[in-house]
Amino acid sequence: MKKSIWTAPLLGLTLVGLVAPAAVNAASATDMISNGEVTFKADNSSTGPKDPLDPTDPNPIKPIDPSNPGGNPTPGTSGPLSLDFASSFTFGEAAISSDDAKYYAKPQAFAQQDGTTVDRPNYVQVSDKRGTFEGWTLKVKQDKQFAVKDDATRELIGAQLKFKNASLVSATDSKYAPTGLASFELIPGTAQIAPVEAVKDQGMGTWIYRFGDDKQMGHSVELSVPGKTPKMAKAYVTALTWTLESTPANVTPKP
């Protein structure tokens, strides 16, 4: 009899132990889903010039454009795919010579808040805020040969612009970087060339195509002038047209 009395409580405890986990499992299987959502749209606001040595700076210093009165940078294009800034190139003064010569554009000057200036690489800046991931192409053309400022008939015959040490930098992850030419030359008056291309799923955000870095910026935009070319003791000027297109152009990169 005593054996029966002790066996019943043990059986009861065993049954409770088996039933309890089933009740817990039933409770955890009762789930509810809540959702999160965010919607982005194309940004039509303008994008100001960034610092080509630190594109992540939220408050960058401002570039000085020597070709504009007061040095204010020329406003970039508008829209969600925009050409924000392009440096103008100043080669300074040089003595007339009958020898072949190379001259280098001065670095891009930036104004600081204390009124002083600092040098940065010359560069071109593109922003893609469309949200379509479809890519784009940056093209450039030298419209005419260098010519005397007040007499376009007197050209600097044989002069040639060469861009070197080029690279692309951005605050955007580098795996989305466009393809850019490390160097290229311009032939005045000929068809555009496309030094930068962003194919599908590339080029989103703001990208800086710069010529040189903190060490190379003073020797990365070169003007070569033949010694046999006669030269007037005057200023010679030219113009470059930078064009941003929404269609990739199948650029073949050069080393």
pLDDT per residue as tens digits for the range 212-240 = 999 999 999 999 999 999 999 999 999 99
How many domains does the structure of the chain reveal? 1
Pairing of strands 193-198, 160-163: unpaired
pLDDT single digits (tens) 121-157:
999 999 999 999 999 999 999 999 999 999 999 999 9
Domain residue limits at 196: 62-245
Average pLDDT, the chain: 87
Per-residue confidence band for 21, with pLDDT thresholds at 50, 70 and 90? low
Any alpha helices (H) in the chain, and if so which ranges? 2-28
Cβ contact 103:91 at 8 Å: yes
Residue at 16 is within a domain:
no
pLDDT single digits (tens) 30-82:
999 999 999 999 999 989 999 999 999 988 889 998 877 678 888 899 899 99
Residue at 24 is within a domain:
no
Average pLDDT over residues 5-27: 42
Residue 137 backbone phi and psi in degrees, to 5: -135, 135
Residue at 21 is within a domain:
no
Distance CA 118, CA 109 (A): 6
Query: Tokens 């940056």 — which residue?
Result: 138
- Would you state the structure tokens that stand for residue 167, as one six-digit string? 């690279």
Residue at 113 is within a domain:
yes
Residue at 162 is within a domain:
yes
Distance CA 252, CA 180 (A): 9
Residue at 253 is within a domain:
no
- pLDDT on residue 238: 97
pLDDT single digits (tens) 89-123:
999 999 999 999 999 999 999 998 888 999 999 99
Residue at 27 is within a domain:
no
Distance CA 183, CA 120 (A): 18
Residue 250, pLDDT above cutoff 70: no
pLDDT single digits (tens) 169-202:
999 999 999 999 999 999 999 888 999 999 999 9
Residue 211, pLDDT above cutoff 60: yes
The SS3 of residue 198 is strand
Nearest CA among 129, 118, 153 for reference residue 205: 129
- pLDDT on residue 13: 37
Residue at 216 is within a domain:
yes
